[in-house]
A and B are shown apart, each in its own frame.
Chain A
């Protein structure tokens, strides 16, 4: 199965910061990569699909880039409601998730 490795595993940030999370695939997956946000105690929520496409209703401060084996989720101007855990997920082969990146208050 394709392995997804997210970095960092956790980070501390302040409101207004730009935050970047990386997801690396163990083999090329074209743009079959999705990003989710999970707030504590809640179900995950789709942010980005197909590596770069913003899901309807998701604020434009979220942006996805990349293809092949390296992908990035960037949050421009972190807001209080953005603290939580972010997961990448590949849909190229048997589906797998990255291990998650926890974004915490500095």
Chain B
């Protein structure tokens, strides 16, 4: 069974750093890209970026480039999303998802989500 298990909820202050994780199992980690998606409270889904775990080639949505960093560790089969300086507007639930190898590039399966609250 393919599983993506994300790290637990976080409460941080503005300006703090944070790294959340997405641990995968049940498939060849380097074969599929991993995407990150943001969902602010009560809002829709926003594509943040994607990483190829084979060589760490990373692509970011323009809205997120420069504010977050996506990385992957092949030895632990884990993808990461990190911030150097959080803002209150980063309060959201963050999902990781595996991107299909086919041309559809659909996201399946998804992690359970990591809630991040940034508040002073």
One of A11-19, A20-28, A49-57, A71-79 at the interface: A49-57
Minimum distance in angstroms from A38 CB to a CB of chain B: 8
> Cβ of A81 < 8 Å from any Cβ of B?
no
Question: Which B39-73 residues sit within 8 Å CB-CB of chain A?
Answer: 44-47, 50, 59, 61-62
Which residues does chain B contribute within 8 Å of A87, judged by CB atoms?
44-45
> Cβ of B9 < 8 Å from any Cβ of A?
no
Question: Which A44-86 residues sit within 8 Å CB-CB of chain B?
Answer: 44-46, 49-50, 53, 55, 85
Minimum distance in angstroms from A102 CB to a CB of chain B: 10
**A46 pairs with B107, CB closer than 8 A:** yes
How many residues on B have C-beta within 8 angstroms of the other chain's C-beta atoms? 25
How many residues on A have C-beta within 8 angstroms of the other chain's C-beta atoms? 24
**In the complex the two chains form, what is the Cα distance from A62 to B39 in whole Å?**
24
Contact of A94 among B44, B62, B104, B113 (CB under 8 A): B62
**B44 pairs with A99, CB closer than 8 A:** yes
Minimum distance in angstroms from A78 CB to a CB of chain B: 21
A-B contact count (CB 8 A): 70
**B108 pairs with A55, CB closer than 8 A:** yes
**B110 pairs with A44, CB closer than 8 A:** yes
**A36 pairs with B107, CB closer than 8 A:** yes
**B100 pairs with A49, CB closer than 8 A:** yes
Contact of B106 among A1, A43, A46, A99 (CB under 8 A): A46
Where the two chains meet, the residues of A that have a C-beta atom closer than 8 Å to any C-beta of B are: 1, 32, 34, 36, 38, 43-46, 49-50, 53, 55, 85, 87, 89, 91, 94-100
Question: What are 21 of the A-B contact pairs (CB < 8 Å)?
Answer: A36-B45, A36-B107, A44-B37, A44-B95, A44-B107, A46-B106, A49-B102, A50-B102, A50-B103, A53-B104, A55-B106, A87-B44, A89-B45, A89-B47, A91-B105, A91-B106, A94-B47, A94-B61, A95-B50, A99-B44, A100-B45
Where the two chains meet, the residues of B that have a C-beta atom closer than 8 Å to any C-beta of A are: 35, 37, 44-47, 50, 59, 61-62, 95, 97, 100, 102-113
